[in-house]
């Protein structure tokens, strides 16, 4: 892997790796946990279904990424892949024709900011592979709640499996670097016109990029203060819908 790309060969994969593949001309990426034997556990709304953003336009533009298979001719290894929730897929179905990338954990702030696109790395450290696999397999059986593009998406699922961390406030996005990146870009665009009267074009570009980087950094799961480690068994027990993960995390903090 290099500074600009996290692409990885299949032969280099290890059980417990957080992997992803870009979709829709690199508009977004789909994430999952590689569990060995060519299989991936991931969280999806199912092929061709709305992702539940609350916006009809966005629902048509963005889709979760369960591989598209005819229900009459399912993948012989995976079976029916059109259902939503936490599912297990072979690597080919997970990639759905895309390239394979490895999500990086424990990166430095410099490297994090050098990778200007969100959803590729985090400052947070990964737990041991056995803990990652235990969470992924448990959630495969018990679910991860309802899909939400900003607070509970496929990247959120993979990051939780890797770290056990949940956000316990209701005023910000979840763990997803992709969502944080999009919101950082949107907030930068909205606030930029206010600076046209006070700076040159070059200065404006530098200030805008600085705002974007700062917003991404403070939203990363590795530096945020509004997170708590939540055992996977308690996650399911106290918040089956995961609509308000902050309540689950608050309970865990009291223990």
The enclosing domain of 231 has a CATH number of 3.90.1720.10
Mean pLDDT for the stretch of residues 106-122: 87
Q: Tell me whether residue 127 is in a domain.
A: yes
Mean pLDDT for the stretch of residues 232-252: 58
Region of poorest pLDDT, from 18-32, 102-116, 155-169, 185-199: 185-199
Catalytic residues: 30, 42, 154
Q: Tell me whether residue 91 is in a domain.
A: yes
Report pTM.
0.78
Residue 56 has a pLDDT of 41
DSSP code per residue over 74-102: -BTTTB---S-EEEEEEHHHHHTT---EE
Q: Tell me whether residue 252 is in a domain.
A: no
Mean pLDDT for the stretch of residues 41-45: 90
Instruction: Say whether pLDDT at 193 is over 70.
Output: no
Instruction: Say whether pLDDT at 138 is over 90.
Output: yes
Residue 126 has a pLDDT of 97
Q: In which domain, by residue range, is 108 found?
A: 10-237
Q: Tell me whether residue 189 is in a domain.
A: yes
Residue 145 has a pLDDT of 86
Q: Tell me whether residue 84 is in a domain.
A: yes
Mean pLDDT for the stretch of residues 40-52: 66
Rounded (10°) angle between helices 129-142 and 154-163: 130
Q: How many domains does the chain have?
A: 1
Cβ neighbours of residue 14 closer than 8 Å, sequence gap 6 or more? 34, 129
Distance between the two ends of the chain, CA-based, in angstroms?
A: 40
Q: Tell me whether residue 14 is in a domain.
A: yes
Q: Tell me whether residue 87 is in a domain.
A: yes
Q: Tell me whether residue 180 is in a domain.
A: yes
Task: Compute the mean pLDDT over every residue in the chain, rounded to the nearest whole number.
Answer: 76
């Amino acid at each position: 892997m290099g500074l600009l790309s996290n692409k990885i060969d299949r032969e280099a994969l290890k059980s417990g790796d957080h992997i992803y593949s870009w979709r829709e001309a690199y508009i977004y990426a789909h994430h999952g946990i590689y569990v060995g034997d060519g299989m991936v556990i991931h969280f999806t709304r199912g092929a061709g279904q709305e992702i539940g953003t609350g916006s009809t336009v966005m629902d048509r533009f963005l889709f979760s990424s369960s591989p598209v298979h005819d229900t009459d001719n399912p993948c012989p290894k995976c079976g029916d892949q059109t259902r939503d929730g936490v599912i297990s897929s072979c690597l080919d179905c997970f990639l759905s024709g895309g390239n394979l990338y490895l999500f990086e954990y424990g990166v430095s702030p410099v490297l994090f900011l050098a990778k200007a696109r969100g959803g590729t790395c985090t400052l947070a450290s990964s737990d041991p592979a056995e803990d990652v696999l235990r969470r992924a397999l448990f959630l495969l059986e018990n679910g991860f709640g309802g899909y939400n593009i900003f607070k509970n998406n496929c990247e959120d699922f993979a990051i939780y499996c890797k770290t056990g961390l949940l956000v316990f406030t209701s005023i910000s996005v979840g763990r997803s670097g992709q969502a944080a990146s999009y919101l950082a870009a949107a907030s930068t665009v909205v606030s930029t016109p206010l600076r046209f009267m006070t700076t040159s074009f070059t200065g404006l570009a530098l200030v805008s990029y600085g705002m974007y980087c700062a917003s991404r950094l403070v939203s990363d799961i590795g530096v945020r203060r509004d997170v708590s480690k939540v055992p996977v068994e308690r996650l399911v027990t106290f918040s089956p819908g995961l609509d308000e993960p902050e309540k689950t995390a608050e309970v865990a903090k009291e223990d």
